[in-house]
Amino acid sequence: FCIQGLRLNVTDEGVQVVERVLEAGNPRNWRAVVHMGLEDRAKGLKIEVAALNNRASDNTTVYPTAPPILPTTVDLGKLALDPTQATGEIWSRDAGHYYCNEIFYRSLHAVRRAAAAAGVGRNAAARAGAGAGAGPRQLLPVVFVHLPEDTGGNTIAHMADMVTTIIATIMQDDNLRQF
């Protein structure tokens, strides 16, 4: 697989970049979206399991009629993280109230909205939010990973290895592989 990185501005405009690509039908043909951000309080890598419908700039809702919380579309059962490892990777259910949470929510919402708009029936709806070639019931995987500061066992090299492992695990699904 190929990893494409985008550096996004931490602004109201920056959090809409990925959402706009997904709303345009995913013309870049992304197979998954893995957002990353730094969190100075994190003791280790944190995988966010859900996002809150919260606008970072003023703490209002992003979409007033949308659900208050959206779970990640990644199959978390496939990610075998050991919180006892030196890096202290953990699951997190609070992506915060800043731009990290907002971009995560907007991406999850866009994937689900595209799936719902794709057509009649569960299979057609799920295909719309999936990457090209994805199976009939799989939404495009979207996850947010918070990274700690580069200290102690949390070196940049180690965190890069961990994120690469997360991406590889997500991409192991036969429905997401590009042939």
38 pLDDT band (50/70/90 cuts)? confident
pLDDT, position 172: 85
**DSSP letter, residue 131:** P
pLDDT, position 124: 42
Helix (H, G, I), strand (E, B) or coil at 72: coil
Q: Which of 33-37, 101-105, 158-162 has the lowest mean pLDDT?
A: 158-162
List the strands of the sheet with 142-147, edge to edge. 33-38, 142-147, 46-48, 90-92
Exposed, middle or buried, 56 (CB in 10 Å: 0-12/13-18/19+)?
buried
Distance CA 97, CA 28 (A): 29
More confident residue, 94 or 119: 94
Exposed, middle or buried, 82 (CB in 10 Å: 0-12/13-18/19+)?
exposed
pLDDT at 93 over 90: no
Pair type for strands 90-92 and 46-48: parallel
Tell me if the pTM is above 0.75: yes
pLDDT at 121 over 70: no
Distance CA 127, CA 116 (A): 10
For 143, the token pair is 């996850």
